[in-house]
Amino acid sequence: DFLNRAYSLHSQSNPLHPDLWPSASKFESEIISMTGNMLGGDDQVCGAISSGGTESILLAMKAYRDWAIDKKGIKNPEMVAPTTAHAAFDKASQYFNISLIRVPVDQNYKADVAAMRNAVTKNTAVIIGSAVSFPHGVIDPIPELSEMAQERGIGFHTDACLGGFVLPWAKKLGYDIPDFDFSLPGVTSISVDTHKYGYAPKGSSVILYRNSDLRSYQFFAITEWPGGLYCSPTFAGSRPGGPVAACWAALLAMGEKGYLDATQHILETGERIRIGIEGIEDLHVLGDPLWVIAFGSETLDIYQIMELMTQKGWSLNGLHHPPCVHLCVTLRHTEDGVAEKFLKDLKESVEHVRNHPEEKTGSAPVYGMAATLPFRGVVSDLLKKYLEVLYKT
């Protein structure tokens, strides 16, 4: 109710017009400052507010493309990223005509430093690492990757959309968290979602840059349009002020103590769930996650297990390469009895699939087909057809 009230008070404001809505611009500036400070930034670190993690990533990759063309004389800029980096980097590749070099990860599902080094060429504009990766919840070796980027005089982007509001607080709580932010001199930009573990309403994210020179390549300005002088910091022209105001309110309301408490509950629950999954016969956990826990099975259909868990009211994400599912532990899972209920339901689902391996219901056959179909264009076409169906009335 508190965030809804903050939202409604600014539902008609528009940060595109700071002369009319100075408070919206003030909110944005303070959100960027607070987030940058949390992520090891100095007074040179700057950024912008976007509508979500995908837009934050797109903005950064557009900036690196234009920076590489202008400063490095690169005609065909490239991005180098592990296969586990978010799909938004593929979207940036398609939208902005930047070649994306995907590099296989190591046995722990982390970026392979040697393989990433071999993928860097004279056309590389930026190297990418995740903290944490969306599929498996692990942290790429960002100290090594960012040092590599710094040595070559190119950009390094940490995608902390999922982990940016957990890892800094986990570190303060004493967890062994490797450096991933602006404390590393080679990190030149960070994407972080306030609307995930920052507990702001949906529709807010932050893209941070080490300095304003790099950020300037994100901006758009035109001077010869008959409609007058026009500029905008992000892709949108008019932007809703409601999410900005509610995000600002969420950050202030949570404060350091709020984020520390939330992080502690989430990590303790994540550990309990991970240990519980590892104790279930036929299941294994991928990598060494903290709270985004991916698990699979060498003997059972993991997608059928996911389908049974869906029927029991749980929401798991289906993944592939390899076939697995994951759970993002949130504050909801930290409530009394929830983690225990999850593990009980998961054990029952595993036992059912073990005893009825022939059953294929719900989305399980679709995920199984998508994971094994050799013609990826067919799967892509099916996904686009699915989107078309969503828009039918």
pLDDT tens string 35-55: 999 999 999 999 999 999 999
Q: Which of 252, 269, 292 is the last residue of a domain?
A: 252
List pLDDT tens digits, range 349-390.
Answer: 999 999 998 887 766 556 555 555 555 567 788 888 888 998
Does 269 fall in a domain?
Answer: yes
The residue among 204, 222, 252 that closes a domain is 252
The pLDDT > 70 percentage for the chain reads: 96
Query: What's the mean pLDDT in 56-60?
Result: 99
Q: Are residues 161 and 302 in the same domain?
A: no
Q: Is residue 390 part of a domain?
A: no
DSSP E strands, 68-171: 78-82, 99-103, 124-130, 155-159
Question: Quick check: is 331 in a domain?
Answer: yes
* Strand (E) or helix (H) holding 296: strand 292-296
Give which of 17, 125, 10 is closest to 71, Cα–Cα: 125
Q: What is the pLDDT of residue 211?
A: 98
* Average pLDDT over all residues of the chain: 95
**Pair (220, 321) in one structural domain:** no
- Burial (CB < 10 A; 0-12, 13-18, 19+), residue 272, is middle
Residue 388 domain flag: no
Residue 391, pLDDT score? 86
Average pLDDT over residues 263-282: 98
Which residue type, as a one-letter code, is found at position 44?
Q
Contact call for residues 79 and 61 (beta carbons, < 8 A): yes
Answer with the one of 252, 286, 309 that is the final residue of a domain: 252
What local confidence, expressed as pLDDT, does residue 367 receive?
Answer: 56
Same domain, 232 and 275: no
Question: Do the beta carbons of residue 107 and residue 284 sit within 8 Å?
Answer: no
Q: Are residues 316 and 174 in the same domain?
A: no
Shared-domain flag, residues 262 and 242: no
CATH number at residue 299: 3.90.1150.10
Q: Is the pLDDT of residue 155 over 90?
A: yes
Q: Which two tokens stand for residue 229?
A: 């002088």
Rounded to 5°, the CA angle 290-293-297 comes to: 140
Instruction: Give the whole-number percent of the chain exceeding pLDDT 90.
Output: 90
Model pLDDT for residues 161-211, shown as the tens digit of each residue: 999 999 999 999 999 999 999 999 999 999 999 999 999 999 999 999 999
Q: Kindly state whether residues 189 and 337 are assigned to the same domain.
A: no
Residues 220 and 115 placed together within one structural domain of the fold: yes
Q: What is the number of domains present in the chain?
A: 2
pLDDT at 358: 86
The SS3 call for residue 208 is strand
* Measured CA distances, 309 to 139, 314, 324 (Å): 27, 5, 14
Query: Could you list the residue range(s) of the whole structural domain that residue 278 is in?
Result: 255-383
Distance CA 69, CA 8 (A): 42
Number of neighbouring beta carbons within 10 Å of residue 357 = 12
The CATH number of whichever domain residue 102 belongs to comes to: 3.40.640.10
- Judge contact between 98 and 124, C-beta under 8 A: no
Same domain, yes or no, for 263 and 248?
Answer: no
Judge whether 391 lies within some domain: no
